[in-house]
């Protein structure tokens, strides 16, 4: 049986999910910041602007990994970096979990700069991805600390997740706060807006306590990438980044311990009791059924035109993400009887 720990990572666009994953894997691999500085792990390409010295000199800091999947758009600051769901798998090395696989599922950001229709498409993609998992141990909601206003789409996200995975999912939700150094490693003003959102949900209350809340700051990872770009820091700055590393690393260990103790056995979506699963299945069937019907009509036209030695066959190809037309495949037009078709 699959004993991996599967964690779904959700968050608003720009909250720093990709940076969080990059930082998290370094917390797992290295005990100290100095050890990570020699050869840090960068799973997801990063790009950000860093200001240094008394003249506020700006540096565009970049690091590209060997990950060649066109899943990220990190050249457009302010937009969601992750474009499609993708899993990152690590092997845990601590005593209780030694050899066990940890899978963190990165997802497109909620509150897309492309509008609510893109949010709906992203959420449908996330729910479809969940549907293909053997199990799910935890759902990690990533939030910026000191954010008094949460995106309205979060409410819809919570409701649809509970529809798909059932009421028991409430106990599987954990909250991680980023950029928490500015709020002394607390949730800051985000806590009150989050409580108000959770209280407004029609389902049973989702727990939000100190036990399932974790505060991180990824500045130490940005420091590691900056050092790879030959940017120097003074002693005081290095102490600040080291403190950020120590506190965030401790939180990552507490998070894993919490999941191991409370969520060791994963939940399996109960398809027979979920109307959302049925909706997803139907939505996935609509396009293939329409294309099949259209092709049947084409072949009827050929038959009626006494071109019975000619037929058109559909050859499906798997594409990443939801789209009306695959723009990556070369295509050309061909005339069959009295109509034209596009061949990919």
Residue-level pLDDT, tens digit, the chain, 344 residues = 568 899 999 988 888 898 999 999 999 999 999 999 989 999 888 888 888 888 888 888 888 765 434 444 444 444 445 668 899 998 887 766 677 899 999 988 877 666 666 767 777 788 778 878 888 999 999 999 988 888 777 787 788 777 777 778 889 999 999 999 999 999 999 999 999 999 988 878 899 999 999 999 999 999 999 999 999 999 999 999 999 999 999 999 999 999 989 888 888 765 545 676 677 678 778 888 999 999 999 899 989 988 888 888 888 776 655 555 555 666 677 776 666 766 65
Helices (H), the chain: 17-29, 33-38, 116-131, 153-165, 190-199, 219-228, 235-262, 275-304
H or E element at residue 175: strand 173-178
Of 92, 117, 111, residue with least CA distance to 103: 92
Per CATH, the homologous superfamily of domain 5-273 is: P-loop containing nucleotide triphosphate hydrolases (3.40.50.300)
Domain ranges of the chain: 5-273, 275-343
d(CA 161, CA 138): 12
Of 208, 113, 111, residue with least CA distance to 151: 111
- Phi (first) and psi of residue 231, to 5 degrees: -95, 130
Of 35, 4, 18, residue with least CA distance to 81: 18
Q: Please, what's the b/e burial string for 223-260 (b: 16 or more CB within 10 A of its CB; e: otherwise)?
A: bbbbbeeeeeeeeeebeebebbbebbbebbeebbeebb
The helix/strand/coil state of 87 is strand
- Residues 127, 280: contact at Cβ < 8 Å? yes
């Amino acid at each position: 049986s699959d004993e991996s720990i599967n964690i779904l990572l959700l968050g608003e666009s720009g909250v720093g999910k990709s940076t969080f994953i990059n930082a998290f894997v370094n917390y797992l691999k290295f005990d100290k910041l100095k050890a990570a500085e020699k050869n840090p792990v960068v799973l997801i390409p990063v790009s950000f602007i860093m200001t240094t010295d008394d003249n506020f000199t700006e540096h565009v800091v970049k690091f590209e990994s060997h990950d060649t999947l066109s899943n990220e758009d990190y050249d457009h600051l302010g937009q969601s970096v992750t474009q499609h769901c993708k899993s990152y798998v690590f092997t845990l090395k601590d005593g209780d979990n030694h050899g066990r696989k940890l899978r963190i599922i990165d997802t497109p950001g909620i509150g897309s700069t492309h509008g609510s229709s893109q949010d709906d498409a992203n959420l449908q993609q996330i729910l479809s991805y969940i549907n293909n998992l053997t199990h799910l141990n935890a759902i990690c909601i990533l939030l910026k600390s000191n954010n008094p206003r949460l995106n309205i789409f979060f409410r819809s996200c919570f409701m649809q997740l509970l529809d798909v995975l059932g009421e028991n999912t409430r106990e599987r939700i954990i909250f991680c706060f980023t950029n928490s150094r500015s709020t002394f490693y607390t949730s800051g003003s985000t806590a009150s807006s989050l409580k108000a959102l959770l209280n407004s949900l029609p389902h049973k209350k989702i727990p939000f306590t100190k036990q399932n809340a974790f505060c991180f700051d990824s500045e130490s990872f940005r420091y590691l990438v900056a050092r790879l770009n030959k940017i120097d820091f003074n002693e005081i700055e290095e102490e600040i980044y080291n403190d950020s590393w120590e506190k965030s690393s401790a939180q990552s260990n507490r998070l894993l311990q919490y999941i191991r103790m409370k969520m060791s056995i994963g939940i399996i979506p109960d398809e027979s009791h979920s109307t959302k699963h049925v909706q997803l299945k139907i939505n996935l069937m609509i396009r293939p059924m329409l294309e099949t019907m259209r092709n049947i009509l084409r072949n009827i036209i050929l038959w009626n035109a006494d071109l019975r030695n000619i037929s058109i066959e559909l050859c499906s190809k798997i594409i990443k993400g939801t789209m009306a037309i695959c723009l990556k495949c070369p295509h050309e037009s061909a005339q069959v009887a009295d109509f034209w078709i596009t061949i990919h």
